[in-house]
Chains A and B, each alone.
Chain A
Amino acid sequence: MESSSQDLDGNILVTKRLKKYYPIRRGFNPFSGGGQRFVKAVDDVSVNVPRGKTVAILGESGCGKTTLARAVTLLSPPTEGEIVFDGQNITKGKVNYKKIYREMQMVFQDPDSSLDPRLKVRQSVAEPCKGLLGKDEANINSMVMTSLKAVGLTEEHAERIPSHLSGGQKQRVAIARAIAPQPKLVILDEPTSALDASVQAQILNLLLDLQKNYNLTYVIITHNISVAEYLSDLLVVMYAGNVVEYGPSSSIIAKPRHPYTITLIASAPIPNPWKRNLLNTEIKGEVPSAINPPSGCKFHPRCPYAQKICSEQIPELREISPGQFVSCHFAEKTG
């Protein structure tokens, strides 16, 4: 990946060789063969997020995408690596959380646990304004109402508690809360996975409108390829803690180069009975253990193109076509 300098090249967020390892608690067995073991949830990830764009982090369970999101927001700070946000290295030195969170917010996956069940909508949405901006009551109130209006909710909704809201409404409140302090970057973790199709469509359109009106940059974590394709400009495909492919979404989805991405895209159900790609995909094996991942390229045990080198050397991310980067020794062959 480029950008070895501190200069961001128009990127609002840059991660450099990010790692998040979780130590496994050792038992009391003195014969357990020594050495601390780790769950390598995120294992050397470098991504760039350009201002004003939408980057989708796509992957299946265990790929580390949620861990990456939590590392970037410092909810679970990284074990190694750097994060440069809005020109500032937030992994070095003393961290001013309030300053960061004024510009970076997050929307979570589960609308049911996103909101404090005892607080009214108004109070939940006001919380970041109060905590981060410290303005007075009247000011906060107007910020809250503006935010709610922007997501399509009314004064009446502001007085409700979460148990009196539908899933879609709760997610809107979560979005309203995230944009209330007027951040620059919003990270969304599976924002529509728990919602019905028609509600999902409403929320997706809402997100697009908000991005335009508030000049937001989005990082969207998802396992849903059609959502990723619809919303994002850039796509980051993750597998077992690593980035395996990165580039413009339309290019990758039209012509995926990494063997895993190829299978992933082919497995995505499209509403077209004449194109039943799904039934023609084949993938063997299982997602690897995060504690004891395969040597070299983590995908090699399942890869139809695998050769000896794949089990020995981790492939670097290299540019296979303009703007599209793949981490594969044989990316030329997969085209």
Chain B
Amino acid sequence: MLSSSESDEDLTSSNPSSAITSDRVRATLSSIRSNKGALMGATIVAIFAITAIVVFIAGVLHVQVTPYNPLKQDVGPTLAPPSIHFLMGTDNLGRDVFSRIITATPNDFSVSLVVIGFSLLVGSLIGTYAAFNGGLLDEALMRVTDIFFAIPALVLAMSIGIALGPGITNMTIALMIIWWPPYARLARGEALKIAHQNYIEAARLSGAGRSRIILGHALPNITITLLVYASLDVGTVILVYAGLSYLGLAVRPPYPDWGEMVSSYQDFMLSSPWLPFFPGLVIALGVVGFSLLGDGLRDALQGS
């Protein structure tokens, strides 16, 4: 029998870490830190996240964290330009725009996270099962996703939304329904790539059934690709949801919502341009922040 000293080829650059995930996480974080764009994206997202959490908790506890009550009218002069007292000015009903924007944060944020989370979960499961099962399920999945691809997201969401009736919950459901097919497609593609890898066959030789192979081997290995795609996708959800709320399908007034604000303020574009500007800027920032972060994540996890 060979002794280990005789047969050991040592990779001197190897890192025998038992905490593999924390190793990877550290490497990913450092990569993001060094990438300026990603860092900016991460900062923006962090700010949004913290604001959302704070506002939400404040809401539950019935505490006001914003300078003014976002719903209260006439806290100041109407249509006042941005100033020290009203950082983003006031709107036509004398409400503080800044407070409204802050209060609207958990809205868009949570909707996008819920939609993406759902899509990731459902999409990856369905896509992977389709890839490994083939046959009818696979064909059916492909045709269903084809349909979803043929129609623009906003239009699809709108039709479902109108059918369900307006409201945040209904819109979120509508978005969830239309958002998962691309994830299923992506998961299917990635799963097909690894379906013929030797370790999958070895798993079969270890007595693993299809489900065990999918859950234990396939899904963990395609997660990274899906996560990268998801991180780049969050911004899109924000945009589509903003579009829906712009059309008045989501939030009911007087509760603030960025998209809804852009819609109702756009009449004042010429006289008080700050009104539609700030909510639009915040939407854009959200999208950009997530995109930058997604890019950085992709470079960190898949880059050379």
Binding site for B on A (CB under 8 A): 73, 75, 97-98, 101, 105-106, 108-110, 113-118, 120, 124, 127-128, 130-132, 149-154, 156-157, 159-161, 164-166, 168-169, 172, 174, 177, 199, 202, 205-206, 209, 213
Contacts and interface: CB of A to CB of B under 8 A. Distances in A.
Contacts of B150: none
A116 B201 contact: no
A106 B206 contact: no
20 contacts: A98-B207, A101-B207, A105-B205, A106-B201, A108-B198, A108-B201, A116-B199, A120-B20, A124-B199, A127-B208, A131-B207, A131-B212, A132-B207, A150-B1, A152-B6, A152-B7, A153-B4, A159-B18, A168-B9, A174-B202
B208 A118 contact: no
A118 B202 contact: no
B15 A118 contact: no
B2 interface: yes
Contact of B9 (A113, A127, A199, A209): A199
B200 to A, nearest CB: 8
Given A113-B198, A127-B203, A128-B207, A160 B14 contact: yes
Contacts of B26: none
Chain A: interface secondary structure? helix
B198 A101 contact: no
Nearest to B212: A131
Nearest to A99: B207
Nearest to B203: A127
A206 to B, nearest CB: 6
B220 interface: yes
Interface of B: 1-4, 6-9, 11, 14-18, 20, 197-199, 201-208, 212, 217, 220-221
A118 B199 CA distance: 11
A159 B16 contact: yes
Given A116-B199, A118-B221, A161-B20, A106 B3 contact: no
A169 B221 contact: no
Contacts of B9: 166, 168-169, 199
B2 A205 contact: yes
B221 A116 contact: yes
Contact of B14 (A128, A164, A172, A202): A164
Interface centre among B1, B7, B206 (most CB of A within 10 A): B206
B191 to A, nearest CB: 14
Contacts of A73: 205
A157 B206 CA distance: 21
Given A108-B198, A164-B15, A164-B16, A131 B206 contact: yes
Contacts of A172: 7
B207 A156 contact: no
A75 B201 contact: yes
Nearest to A118: B220
B198 A110 contact: yes
Contacts of B2: 151-152, 202, 205-206, 209
A114 B198 CA distance: 5
A31 B124 CA distance: 40
Interface centre among B207, B217, B220 (most CB of A within 10 A): B207
Contact of A160 (B16, B201, B217): B16
A73 B199 CA distance: 15
A187 B140 CA distance: 38
Given A120-B20, A128-B207, A159-B18, A206 B202 contact: no
A164 B198 contact: no
A172 B206 CA distance: 17
Contacts of B217: 116
A113 B212 CA distance: 18
A157 B4 CA distance: 11
Contact of B202 (A168, A177, A202): A177
Contacts of B207: 97-98, 101, 128, 131-132
Nearest to A134: B207
A113 B1 contact: no
A311 to B, nearest CB: 37
A317 B2 CA distance: 41
Given A160-B14, A164-B14, A168-B9, A131 B20 contact: no
Nearest to A168: B9
Contact of A164 (B11, B204, B221): B11
B201 A165 contact: no
A154 B202 CA distance: 22
Contacts of B20: 120, 161
A132 B209 CA distance: 11
A126 B203 CA distance: 11
A213 B2 CA distance: 12
Given A164-B11, A164-B14, A154 B198 contact: no
Contacts of B203: 116, 127, 131
Given A127-B206, A166-B11, 20 more contacts: A73-B205, A98-B207, A105-B205, A106-B201, A106-B205, A116-B220, A124-B202, A128-B205, A131-B212, A132-B206, A132-B207, A152-B2, A153-B8, A154-B8, A156-B16, A157-B16, A159-B17, A165-B11, A169-B9, A199-B9
A305 to B, nearest CB: 40
